[in-house]
Structure 1
Amino acid sequence: MSAPVTVAVPADATTGLPSVHPVDPDRDAALVQRWLGHPASSWWAMTDHDVDAVRTYLRDVQEDPAQTGWLLRRHGEPIAYAETYDPGVVLLTDVWDAEPGDVGMHLLVAPPPADGRVHGLTSAVVRAVVEHCRDALGARRVVVEPDVRNLAVQRKNAEVGFRALREVDVDGKRALLSVLDTERIGVPDDDGPAAHLRPEHLEPAQRHLVAKAIAEFTHERLVAPRADGDAWALDAGDSTYRFRARVHPLEHWVVDEASLTRSRRGSCGPVPLDAQELVLGLQHELGIPDDLLGTYLEEIASTLASAAAKHRRGGPSAAQLAHGRSDGDVVAGFQDAEAAMTEGHPAFVAANGRIGFGLDEYRAYAPESGGRFRYRWLAARREHTDLALAADRTEQQHWAAELDGAAVDRFRDTLERRGLDPDAYTWFPVHPWQWQHRIAVTFAPDLGRQDLVDLGDGPDDHQPQQSIRTALNRASPGRSYVKTALAVQNMGFLRGMSPAYMRTTPAVNDWVAGLVAADPVLADAGFGILREHAAVGYTGDAWHRIGSGPAQRGAPQRKMLAALWRESPVPRLTPGERPVTMAALLHRDARGRSVAAALVQRSGLDAATWVGRYLDAYLRPVVHCLTEHQLLFMPHGENLVLVLRDGVVSRVFMKDIGEEVVVVGDVAVPDGIERIVHPVDDDEAALGVFTDVFDGVLRHLAAILDEDGVLPGAVFWRLVGSCVDAASVGRARPLDLRVPDFEHSCLNRLQLRNTLQMVDLSAQTESLIRAGRMPNPVAR
């Protein structure tokens, strides 16, 4: 925003809009102070300011080149105070990706006079201010951030044409970030909850998903584009897709989305891009069974809807995510990044299925919506429930750490009022979607027997994470993450949780955490584990009484009532550190800028040094755990929390241990956790790094840094090779990770083969699908 234009805009004789004048701090302070002191003005949080304080405030605003205060008059009488500001400099610097022509706005309307409210006055004031922003300040867009609880002003904003984008943390409040395109002043935003499904949002989502599908299906050797002049072409049914692309190591294709076109036999000119049509045209090549094709198409549709919503909502810039919060709020910054992610699983094409969520539920529970919710709590009869705890905590200590005493008293009182013994029950968090759609229906008999008792909502607000079943406690961030069963179909699985797994989860985490803590190499790298230190599962339902054969064990109803608590990284941070999900490194913002490149720039280091530090913190511990302890994690972007200091990765936390860690050698483990031991040969053990790290994470990051001109791919992979050497030489199991090639294990092929359950979690190795061998980019 350029320097403010201090002009008065007279009232329009036709519209009757108020006139707008620069505020005079000396003249107007007493008037504005009276308005601010009225209860109706509580949203400004200045009710306690006296006249001198308001005068100082107004003077500070007027003296700031990025802000201006305005007084609005009607028939010569003052009726409102407004502020305009540059959102790239003031207030929204952490959450709004400002462009030239953006103007921020605040509005204070005078309290209604004693003789009654003037009908339509507030609407006229809002209209006058936004027209002033357009005509006097040259605004292309006006952005506002009312408190989410201030429904009255949100209605007035919608009347004049503001579009609600997303909830954000700003200025100590939870705000509804909203924007108005000034060419649409007076056109109400009446599209409702499906506004993201308009063509202007769905078309870029289609383009991105078609490009990604072509790239990943080609990477997995399901399709083979042919050279077409200086571009490429891919035939799919009666359509042909043409595009430009660059091919990086590990057969990683980066498709130029802007160049992508589709033609169809018998049609004149290009036809619209459509991801479902691409899948249908390639069904034979992709090998999707006829009886499961519909499910995959539904996951594609849901992924498109999610991408369209992200496009409409916008998000912080890559630089903002790399910089973190200007107010130092590391938790808010952590969650800004969590909500901004567009590629939590960058390899999967149908990555955001969430079949079962409706529009309202998407807004409430999808991580990219950035919303908050409260868990529903049940009391579960102890004789049908297993509460497993880490060795270092008792049940009393667990509840004291995770629930306020008032909440426990309320739970106990609810049971006592029903004539039940509270000591015969334990507490059980369930996702609100799960409660409404599954538990209250599928487990109605259990509720009727009072084996399960509804206790109402819990006391704390939580924010959903990229791992959609998990949420961070926003009321008390030092408390544990909560992960619960959530029976929506998403990315090849119904997202349940097994009570049988929950029984041993804390013990598995205790053993892994102890091993990590005792290892000096891991200590030197700062490598840490976020322990799942408590878990609960309910087995009193009918499905747990019908036998234990494979069919019975696979019943989805047996995985609908379980939860775990995982340590939060927040209490383990030191001053100057902040956390971010590793998935953020692969994120590009709405204008295509990468977080990885922004972090390199922020650090002040050369790119090779920055990447070396990252590999030392991430890859070195993963390889060391495999070659020294024969311990293999699932180290993809969602399962790592990076700890940043001045933009540099200083250490990492690994999470999701209980369900996904595996011991790949003949290693003695404590009694009761033998399920994690699955000895495999050296090639199979090394494949865990090749598939989950090289192919699942590093090929994407290497290409991003190369495409952005930050670091050539050849240099990146040389750094990887050096890190692998340092991490694996002289270890107990000297696996050679610098072999010429390795088996190409493919993720999309798993989902395409069985869209309902792509992997048998009890036999993951046997479930893998290979597509020949892949040249190793770190081969000697």
Structure 2
Amino acid sequence: MAWPAIATRCSCVNSPGGKFIPLSVKSPSRLSRPKRNTNMSQSTLFTAARPAGQFTLRPLLPADVRLIHRWVTRDYARFWGMQDHAPEQVAEFYQQLTAKDPHAALIGCCDGEPAFLIECYRASEDEVGRHYPAQPDDYGMHILIAPAVTPVSQFSWQVFSTVMDYMFSRPEVNRVVVEPDVRNDKIHRLNKRAGFRYQHTIDMGHKTAWLAFCQRDDYQQALLQDSLMNNTTPLLNGSHLTGHDWLQANRLLIRKAIAEFAHEKLITPVDVGSGRYQLAVPNGESEYVFSAQRLALDHWEIDVASLQKQENGHRLPLDALQFIEEFNAQIGIPQALLATYMEEISSTLCSSVFKLQKNNPDSQALVKADFQTLESSMTEGHPCFVANNGRIGFDARDYLAYAPEAATPVRLIWVAVHRRNAHFSSISELSYARLLQEELGQAALDQFAAQLASKDVVAEDYILMPVHPWQWQNKLLTVFAADIANQDIIYLGIGEDHYQAQQSIRTFFNRSQPQKRYVKTALSVLNMGFMRGLSPYYMATTPAINEWLETLVANDSWLQRCDFRILREVAAVGYHNRHYERAIKGDSAYKKMFAALWRDNPVTDLQPGQRLMTMAAFLHVDHQQQPLLPALIADSGLPAEQWIDRYLNCYLSPLLHCFYQHDLVFMPHGENLILLLENNVPVSAYMKDIGEEIAVMNPDAVLPEKVQRLAVDVPEHLKLLSIFTDVFDCIFRFISAILHQSDTLSETQFWQRVAQCVKDYQQAHPQLASKFARYDMFAPEFTRSCLNRLQLANNQQMINLSDPAENLKFAGTLENPIAKWR
């Protein structure tokens, strides 16, 4: 886009004073996250609510030229380089600019009135690209703000942040480059406020400019710091909770509550014909009405737009908290736990509103998105649990800083812990010294060593470990105060690397150095029926368990044929608070507050044409109710049945083999499985959360000493639920519905492919025939195990991980959808 006039532009031009509004502007107090318009046939490409009003971006139109001409010929726009242009010259320039890309020039409006002009370009195709090694995902932008009519505080920043939000809403943009004139002090302040890192000056002929870059992480960190300093973010003043998005969040959650509570036989909607259902409120005159399809495994596919609450012919607002109140006699939450569950519902609603207002790519854009963009773009947590985003313990600032969907870069705290209370464990090939060298580097190690020396302690007596910042501030400084006073715990500082929280909330991906290992930390936040701590006792044996499983997988020809992989937890540190451990009998969250582990990173295995995503992405539906999975299948070029066969070979077949051959089961839900895709076709699966969430369902199994805690005694009739519940009911039920609703694959076709996968496995392993008969995958029905009933009964600790079958809740049976293909 190297047109002659562009060479004279800087990255942003403001009129005097830096405060601008369009000709008529309202000043509402709303402020919310931006939204990208996913229907590009419409004129509006992007929207963002700001204090000055509703900002929108649309393509530049010929009718805009006279207005733009009045802007660019003003004295304040001298850096734009068009002060002597006639209207015809301006028109010709923008006609040429947008000939190849209609979105190269955009008009920004505030409450419908033109307020600023944007030019967007690929840096490698612009003059700036000749001054540094431009990357394919480097994009630049120029901003011209309309002349001021009435001052509006922070208007320039509101425009600038809207443009940055738009730039990073485009999956192809990883870094924004600017080249502002060195004399333009106003834009330097805005650039730095947005996180731009200034490199050096460059001579562009017509000007001397700064070369500056801003990556997604830089911008997100800058926004967080800005919001915390200025206290203007809507999450801190509550303004994001007003309006349509709050209503939509309630609609979505009630839709899910009806579907999942009906699935678990807690409530019983009444069929009134033609696919319509009624659910009467107990002891009241109101009712919920909706359209739904009943699919395999008693799945309720409810049309979200059809859902209404009414009383005597009048529509009532949809209120998820009120829904819980109305039906608690049926769903049975103990009175002592009701308030906590309602708080989790409220927190889940707040999270939903944030996601609705967050500028996520739509499903079509996610087809090409990178791993971590996908990770932060998921709109739903666990598909079965209704209250799945509780995060009890986080305040609004914590949510912005640490929630996975916020994707805010996090720097971990490092501490030194005394070996009399702490232990380090690792796989045999990884030493403590090598781990620290690879994760921290020599400079940080020298700095930490100097701090320990200044404390007059022996460095060799200590183990270094990372800590979640929230855990340090909210738990360790108080619960472990005695240990800190005794210098058994010594604060060293904040690490240099920036991490991104993953969907599991306490696991971090290294954004600064993406080839490094994942880090998982203890986090004493209540979420979905568990306090998200880490047991120091488990940490002592976790690497040994991973090493044992790695050997098992490597030596098993069928698992190798399926290319089944594990993400090893290669090292761990656990710290024991002796006071609490002596005083508290039995299990307690206080015994799981201080531990960390390092996990392999699948990014290191990637080859050209390959990408990663969690299996949760296969269940993803964007804010326009468009699912990602059909778009992935379509992009792959494979027929849907072949694509599903490839997926089942990666996922179901190895799980069957581990169960029948090794009595080995996992927790194979969407977030626990990372899929490797090649040209958007599944080719491999990585299982994670090995040390905490796998079991050998044979108490007499001969296992190495450090692996023996995996052996559990499960009743015979419940063993196969590790497939029927965890895979069929919690994953395939939703995949089947998505494919069916999108006309990608009928549910009959899907379940036939599942049946064929099972038959292929059984035919390949005739030596296991007696086990196939004992644990019959083609049984007519199986026990209906109910996850919400678990959480409703005890939202503090749903199950005992050492005895997973102990607390299970059942409600009759489900028809086996593959039984007819025996």
- Local SS of the residue matching 1:250: helix
Aligned 8 A contact 1:219 1:251 in 2: yes
Aligned to 2:815: 775
Aligned to 1:492: 529
Match of 1:107 among 133, 143, 148: 143
Aligned 8 A contact 1:706 1:712 in 2: yes
Match of 2:119 among 84, 98, 103: 84
Aligned to 2:646: 613
Aligned to 1:671: 705
Aligned to 1:248: 295
Aligned to 2:7: none
Aligned to 2:205: none
Aligned 8 A contact 2:785 2:809 in 1: yes
1:202 maps onto 2:246 in alignment: yes
Aligned to 1:454: 491
Aligned 8 A contact 1:621 1:727 in 2: no
- Local SS of the residue matching 1:270: strand
Aligned to 2:66: 8
Residue type matched to 2:779 in 1? Answer: V
1:312 maps onto 2:357 in alignment: yes
Structure 1 residue ranges without an equivalent (≥5): 29-56, 73-79, 92-103, 111-117, 133-142, 158-169, 179-187, 325-332
Aligned to 1:232: 277
Aligned to 2:261: 217
Aligned 8 A contact 1:147 1:173 in 2: no
**RMSD, aligned α-carbons:** 3.8
Would the alpha carbon gap of residues 475 and 232 (structure 1) be closer, same or farther in structure 2, given more than 3 Å must change?
A: same
Match of 1:424 among 449, 461, 472: 461
Q: Any idea what the Cα deviations from partners look like across 1:59-95, whole Å, max 9, x if unmatched? A: 99566443557999xxxxxxx99643599xx99xxxx
- Local SS of the residue matching 2:67: coil
Q: CA deviation at 1:672?
A: 2.3
- Local SS of the residue matching 1:658: helix
Q: Any idea what the Cα deviations from partners look like across 1:168-227, whole Å, max 9, x if unmatched? A: xx985546599xxxxxxxxx9984633321132211000000000000000111111112
Q: Any idea what the Cα deviations from partners look like across 1:737-767, whole Å, max 9, x if unmatched? A: 1111111111100000001111111211111
Would the alpha carbon gap of residues 145 and 343 (structure 1) be closer, same or farther in structure 2, given more than 3 Å must change?
A: same
Cα distance in 2 between the residues matched to 1:475 and 1:27: 45
- Local SS of the residue matching 2:782: strand
Cα distance in 1 between the residues matched to 2:653 and 2:244: 44
Alignment of 1:477-516 (within 5 A): 477-516=514-553
Aligned to 2:35: none
Q: Any idea what the Cα deviations from partners look like across 1:325-381, whole Å, max 9, x if unmatched? A: xxxxxxxx1011110112231000000000111111101110011111011111100
Cα distance in 2 between the residues matched to 1:445 and 1:189: 38
Aligned to 2:682: 649
Cα distance in 2 between the residues matched to 1:651 and 1:150: 47
Alignment of 1:543-554 (within 5 A): 543-546=580-583, 552-554=585-587
State the identity as a percent.
39
Aligned to 2:725: 691
Aligned 8 A contact 1:145 1:175 in 2: no
Cα distance in 1 between the residues matched to 2:496 and 2:594: 20
Q: Any idea what the Cα deviations from partners look like across 1:612-634, whole Å, max 9, x if unmatched? A: 11111111111111111111011
Would the alpha carbon gap of residues 191 and 363 (structure 1) be closer, same or farther in structure 2, given more than 3 Å must change?
A: closer
Residue type matched to 1:107 in 2? Answer: I
Would the alpha carbon gap of residues 753 and 128 (structure 1) be closer, same or farther in structure 2, given more than 3 Å must change?
A: closer
Cα distance in 1 between the residues matched to 2:438 and 2:361: 33
Aligned 8 A contact 2:174 2:216 in 1: no
- Local SS of the residue matching 1:763: coil
Aligned 8 A contact 2:712 2:802 in 1: no
Cα distance in 1 between the residues matched to 2:666 and 2:334: 31
Cα distance in 2 between the residues matched to 1:337 and 1:175: 18
Q: Any idea what the Cα deviations from partners look like across 1:408-436, whole Å, max 9, x if unmatched? A: 11111111101111111001111000000
Cα distance in 1 between the residues matched to 2:580 and 2:807: 26
Would the alpha carbon gap of residues 123 and 281 (structure 1) be closer, same or farther in structure 2, given more than 3 Å must change?
A: closer
Residue type matched to 2:280 in 1? Answer: D
Would the alpha carbon gap of residues 714 and 128 (structure 1) be closer, same or farther in structure 2, given more than 3 Å must change?
A: closer
Aligned 8 A contact 1:19 1:128 in 2: no
Cα distance in 2 between the residues matched to 1:611 and 1:360: 42
Aligned 8 A contact 2:175 2:216 in 1: no
- Residues 683-692 or 300-309, more deviating: 683-692
Cα distance in 1 between the residues matched to 2:159 and 2:408: 32
Match of 1:525 among 545, 562, 571: 562
- Local SS of the residue matching 1:767: coil
- Local SS of the residue matching 1:765: coil
- Residues 605-614 or 147-156, more deviating: 147-156
Aligned 8 A contact 1:303 1:353 in 2: yes
Cα distance in 2 between the residues matched to 1:459 and 1:719: 48
Would the alpha carbon gap of residues 540 and 69 (structure 1) be closer, same or farther in structure 2, given more than 3 Å must change?
A: closer
Q: CA deviation at 1:727?
A: 2.2
Alignment of 1:128-147 (within 5 A): none
Aligned 8 A contact 1:81 1:107 in 2: yes
- Local SS of the residue matching 2:323: helix
Q: CA deviation at 1:516?
A: 0.5
- Local SS of the residue matching 1:514: helix
- Local SS of the residue matching 1:262: strand
Cα distance in 1 between the residues matched to 2:500 and 2:669: 21
Q: Any idea what the Cα deviations from partners look like across 1:444-486, whole Å, max 9, x if unmatched? A: 1110011101111112110000001111111122211111110
Residue type matched to 1:278 in 2? Answer: F
Cα distance in 2 between the residues matched to 1:69 and 1:282: 53
Alignment of 1:337-348 (within 5 A): 337-348=374-385
Cα distance in 2 between the residues matched to 1:757 and 1:61: 60
TM-score of the aligned structures, taking structure 1 as reference length: 0.80
- Local SS of the residue matching 1:282: helix
TM-score of the aligned structures, taking structure 2 as reference length: 0.76
Would the alpha carbon gap of residues 151 and 584 (structure 1) be closer, same or farther in structure 2, given more than 3 Å must change?
A: farther
- Local SS of the residue matching 1:320: helix
Residue type matched to 2:512 in 1? Answer: A
Match of 2:671 among 628, 635, 638: 638
Aligned to 2:329: 284
